Structure 1
Amino acid sequence: MVRNYKRKTDRGGWSEEEMKLAIQEVLDGKKGYKSASKAYNVPQTTLERKVNQARKRDNNILQVKVPLGPITTVFSEKEEQILVTYLKEMEGRLFGLSTSEFQKLAYELAVRNYKQHKFNGLKEKAGKNWLRGFLNRQPDLSLRKPENTSAARAGFNRVSFGKYWLCRSGR
């Protein structure tokens, strides 16, 4: 599997919003295919195909952008942001996850949410390529082997424990 793919064409590089606007212009009869494709900088043949699909659905525009090729991400952008938030929260609680633990977490999440995936069912964890792609999509995140933190460094000592215990017990 290619890990650092560099795109060679601009196929599918048009904006989804511009395509929707161009489709609406053609459906309303305000512009033709050629002028709408030039005005909104979208391919004319793609515009024609999308307009025909919309006409078959009674001028209803549903899905404009489709993925190129068979490979898609397992989780949506929103779900990946939830994973990132979870990882940062666990790190803030001094319970950082290792890469192996995170791969197992991703596998469990995919299975429980009935997501289509190509993760290893025997090891029950996501693969290294998925992990690398996830980390590339989340540049503010880096997973490392968690280090032990002393209780004193975490701010947990006799004085703070005594204050905590007094507050909890109501004394």
Structure 2
Amino acid sequence: MAKRKYNTWKQEDMDKALEKHRNGEIGFNEACRRFNIPKPTLRRHLKGLNNRKKFGRPNDMSPEMEEILAQHLMNLESCFFGLTTTEFRKLAFELAEKAQLPHRFNKEKKIAGKKWYYRFMKEHPTLSLRAPEPTSMARSKGFNKERVNEFFDKYEEILDKYKFVDHQIYNMDETALSTVHKPTKYFLSTTKAIGGTS
């Protein structure tokens, strides 16, 4: 038995079918044939029984929670801490668990699915996936006086917000770390995407 297909019609075709049928231009059966819409589906829309704007399974997070997650990504980037797709999907899982949402994420691997990630990115076009460019610390435009001041402004803001005490603040040196690096991971950003996944 062939697998049944759902939602093969477009919303614009549904709108035209409803308009022409309600205006008496075409009959019910003709509307279904012309716009390739199943009869039960058109009947539900005519009766106003189908008010969904999106098809398929419901989202694992509310739009409001996803907006919070998107804003968090932007805040992380502004702090020079972009997340890879894997890190972001793990963060989404942790958020869903903490909020006790009835999600369908992978509880064994503790990570959100790729399909959820692609849908999330599609609905948040201000975010994209890009690769950081290899740069020399001495020549990097990102470490001029203006950017350094921006970093310390952000640092002070975080200290004031979370009230960290001395023993919660750590210092790191550059021992065994190259100042000219070649990044291998893509990260989420608000700038133009150049493709790739991680």
- TM-score, normalised relative to structure 1: 0.50
Change (3 A) 1:26 1:156: same
1:135–1:141: 8 Å Cα contact kept in structure 2?
no
Identity %: 22
Partner of 2:43: 52
Partner of 1:33: 28
Deviation, 1:61, is: 4.2
Distance 2:40 2:109 in 1: 44
Question: What code does the residue aligned with 1:155 have?
Answer: V
Question: What code does the residue aligned with 1:50 have?
Answer: T
Residue 43 (structure 1) aligned to one of 36, 42, 50: 36
Deviation, 1:52, is: 3.1
Distance 1:60 1:85 in 2: 35
Residue 81 (structure 2) aligned to one of 86, 95, 115: 95
Deviation, 1:43, is: 0.8
2:90–2:112: 8 Å Cα contact kept in structure 1?
yes
1:108-132 residue CA offsets vs partner (Å, 9 max, x unmatched): 2333162431322x443325x3576
Secondary structure of the residue aligned to 1:142 is strand
Deviation, 1:134, is: 5.3
What count of residue pairs does the alignment treat as equivalent? 139
Change (3 A) 1:54 1:118: same
Deviation, 1:93, is: 2.4
Partner of 1:105: 91
Distance 2:80 2:120 in 1: 21
Distance 1:107 1:67 in 2: 23
Distance 1:135 1:65 in 2: 16
1:103–1:125: 8 Å Cα contact kept in structure 2?
yes
Deviation, 1:25, is: 4.0
Residue 16 (structure 1) aligned to one of 11, 27, 45: 11
Q: CA RMSD in A?
A: 4.6
Distance 2:16 2:61 in 1: 28
Deviation, 1:54, is: 4.7
1:74–1:117: 8 Å Cα contact kept in structure 2?
yes
Partner of 1:3: none
**Gap runs ≥5 in structure 2:** 157-198
- TM-score, normalised relative to structure 2: 0.45
Distance 2:74 2:35 in 1: 39
Question: What code does the residue aligned with 2:78 have?
Answer: G
**Gap runs ≥5 in structure 1:** 1-9, 165-171
Distance 1:37 1:95 in 2: 52
1:108-163 residue CA offsets vs partner (Å, 9 max, x unmatched): 2333162431322x443325x35763587467512669x99879673239xx88xx
